[in-house]
Homo-oligomer: A and B are copies of this chain.
Amino acid sequence: MFCIVGLGLCDEKDITLRGLEAVKSASRVYLEAYTSILMIEKARLESFYGKEVIVADRDMVESEDGSNEILKNADKEDVCLLVVGDPFGATTHTDILIRARQLGIPTRVIHNASIMNAVGASGLQLYNFGQTISLVFFTETWKPDSFYDRIKENIDGGLHTLVLLDIKSDSFFFRGRKVYEPPRYMTVPQAVSQLLEIENMRREGVLDPDKTLAISMGRVGGFDQQRILAGPLCSLLRASPEDFGPPLHSLIIVGKRLHHLEVEYGELFAEDLGEAIAVAEEDGRNPELGQQGRKGGRELWRKVAHEAYGVALS
């Protein structure tokens, strides 16, 4: 049996009991390193599971030779591939499932939370989201902009857009050994700057730096490390890096069908951080904010939502 196990959002405790059972009974356990390099370290998992975890990099999971190695003997014994989030978050995992089927190997998928549903932590309703987009690091010569059309479609329909930000984890060979560079994570200001760069080129009025609302989501499900910031695009561009918290981040471009209940959710923990940014945090650390928000954050968030999208306030 070949089993892909979703590890969930943050650390070793986000695995499900069913997932843990699969890991414990497996003869070999692989950790998909490309998306999972961030928050869960191999050594920590190994000591937690009490067994060896083999790191599978992107080449391994995506190449035929590599995936054959992972799937070796999986018709006779149990092999697990661990992935951050849910197994269907990346096409790579679909490919290796197809490969297993082609080899006549039974497959199983153990689901978990991923940013695709945990984005609800923003207070925005999941059914008001349109299609999700991915934003890659621009280079001088490569600035793919098809995401702009996707955002436009969502904006035209009044819908929110979840923007997944690029992770780059380069590797090179040194003395015959593969060496990994530290991964680079796209920051929210970088993402906003790329979005506005394309708006400046295309000029179809999809994104307005001063009016379009956005929400930055950092380490969703990571409790003490979770950070949720809201404000117009320009305010997220100017905010201090510390305010966003540690990576990984995602960004939501808020749609114009924004409902007053969606605004209300963030209100009670809202905090004015100076750069016209409201914080709509959910982490249980600051219950005293529950009454009112801090430094006028509540009023600011209501005002911003009203001025941008005309959200009626009670």
Contact = CB atoms under 8 A, between A and B. Distances in A.
A126 B284 contact: no
Interface of A: 1, 6, 8-9, 12-18, 20-21, 75, 86-89, 91, 94, 97-98, 100-114, 116-118, 120-121, 123, 125-134, 153, 157, 159, 220-221, 223, 261, 264-265, 268-269, 282-288, 290-291
B107 A282 contact: yes
Nearest to A259: B91
A243 to B, nearest CB: 21
A268 B94 CA distance: 12
A219 B132 CA distance: 25
B261 A94 contact: yes
A93 to B, nearest CB: 9
Nearest to A91: B125
Contacts of A6: 113
A107 B110 CA distance: 28
Given A86-B117, A126-B116, A101 B268 contact: yes
B111 A8 contact: yes
Contact of A130 (B87, B102, B131): B131
5 contacts: A14-B18, A98-B268, A103-B290, A106-B286, A111-B220
B117 A127 contact: no
Instruction: Name, among A102, A106, A117, the residue most crowded by chain B CB atoms within 10 Å (CB to CB).
Output: A117
A284 B107 contact: yes
